[in-house]
Structure 1
């Protein structure tokens, strides 16, 4: 109701949109009426890649990496850069995922006003039902539910809340649940053999907004992020959003950047003034 009139208004000189990819395509059409410039920050299906070196020791770093995998449930998973695809090197898969599932099951999901609550409810009934529809899709595709996989019913005043259990689905990257943005506390996990396959799977998506790489290997932490097609790659961390760092996407995750000072140029026109201080003509005519 508001987006179309705003984006197509002759009183608007620049359009920036944050949201779902198909909606972004519509906004671009509306803005084209006046040939207004646009920038788009759209959807994502971000890979979170864990190399076998993360389990070289049972230390603080491993604890951090496990939390990094579970960060798919941060803000109920309703984050455009949600690390919703977990890629684990196959020789550590069982041991690593055992720890990840244990940490996921320890998430406290309750009243959002309770300071101990880690995950609250989804933003709307539409989103609540959409996530459950993907559980059905995953089941039809043969995805295995490692934990969660259903709505969660709470007691009392919260009985009708839009609560979804933090969920991990195991499968392969060609499944719809791996390829489509669910926008909820749902992660899909698969394995990879080596660096080449990790990069191949990470890039096998329409999106390219965010990605995570976890490794103790100095070569990997430099080379793998450069090979992943995403506007932001977190290395041995995730969900850090410093104001000085450019943020934006590749492919169907949009174009343009936010936060960094470079974004100001999207809101400015470059004007060139050529002024002659010579009173004499050029002499051609």
Structure 2
């Protein structure tokens, strides 16, 4: 599955009359950082930070970016801070199908294809699937067609009762993990679309207990060094642990919101089975 565009780029907006001060204060309070601590990090003074937050002082463009960096503000929201302070956005938002993204798209596609036979996919900030390899396609057997209409959403596909959910043996545990992951992302990005997705999938029905709660443990040493997803496929139970990778120091909004999720076999039987199917 090739990388597909994630939709039109959103235009950053900011409250017309609030200014940058209240926005910076909101990020500082969300990160639980005092004015003094932020001032020390940014090489400023607590008084200057207070003046910025109350609107008594207009920060320079450099100061806005410095404070945003120390508060771990996502790239998209840094543009919003700059706009609120009266400056032009610093970070571009380039569509994935733009020719300038050719090298990135080809590199990511080679990465996930090279990971086969193990499943791997690329998602954006709201978990829409932009690319996936044959390992992912294998797991989608039996998913209702209406969930496979682009844009596919990884969280919805996983937790929907007509998606992967009926075949996930430890659904309650895996669901809790995914919802906690989304909750952390919502706190980081303060994203309304992500919050809407969270509320949608959290309302999906969930069994009283996991289907695999009484399953025997697979033979041999199987140390639980990470939470596995245990899913049925053609009468077998496959076990995976996942890893998520992002780009270091992105300078583009689109790139900053890309994530590559890979699934590694959690036991030898799963790895052997995948190699047999996709070799």
Shared fold by TM > 0.5? no
Sort the TM-score into its range (normalised by shorter chain): under 0.3
Decide which structure has the larger Cα Rg and report it. 1
TM-score where L is the length of structure 1: 0.25
The structure richer in helix per residue is 2
The structure richer in strand per residue is 1
TM-score where L is the length of structure 2: 0.26
